[in-house]
Amino acid sequence: MQEIDRAEQAYTHCIADIQESLSAIGLLPNNFEILLIAYKEEDILNVYAKNKASESYRFLMSFPVLTRSGTLGPKKKEGDKQVPEGSYRINRFNHKSKYHLSLGINYPNDYDQAQQYTGSDIFIHGGTKTVGCLPIGDPAIEMLYTLASLAKANGQEEIPVYIFPFVLDADAIKKHKRQYPLETINRWEELAILHSQLQKQLK
């Protein structure tokens, strides 16, 4: 019996909804790019999109992150169950994942390697189980996998994925100062600058 191609099946399930969602913010399915932002404390993954000529993104859709392992703070080593924090990109499309479908991110990135952080195989994936990944369930990963595949097929060479501990502002960081080491707080303050810059690109 021939194995069903999960990516093709996902496309069939999701393409009409994707076209409708893109059309609702004035985008065409052959001329768009996406950007992903996850907030760990809020357990949410937001998707933004723009046409290739635009400088700013518009909100497209969001998915709840169904389970979270570890605590707030960066991933530092293999097996620590932490979800990474920082600026990443999708570097793998896995249509044979044990979690239905999955999108790999490039952890450890240059910053992580400079800190001598270790680990591998961090994914946004289906299902609900996780050890350091972002599980969003099978229907949601079908939608996101198809959306990312379309963006890539239409020329988006890098799909950014930003993972933040929470919505980074001064009050939020202050709230967590007593619970986390100075090293983590300093990193969050660095990421807060990135977060602020990113917000200027979003509508």
Asked about 125 being catalytic, the answer comes back as yes
Residue written as token pair 């920082």: 86
What tokens does 95 get?
Answer: 């249509």
- The residue among 161, 149, 41 whose CA lies nearest residue 101 is 149
| Catalytic entry in 14, 133, 176, 195 | 133
Asked if 84 and 163 count as a contact pair (C-beta separation under 8 A), the reply is: yes
Burial group, residue 155, by CB count within 10 angstroms (0-12, 13-18, 19+): exposed
| Catalytic entry in 14, 100, 125, 195 | 125
Asked about 133 being catalytic, the answer comes back as yes
| Strands 44-50, 33-39: pairing kind | antiparallel
Expressed in percent and rounded to 5, the helix, strand and coil fractions of the chain are 30, 25, 45
Q: Where are the alpha helices (DSSP H) in the chain?
A: 6-24, 110-114, 138-153, 170-176, 182-199
Active site residues: 125, 133
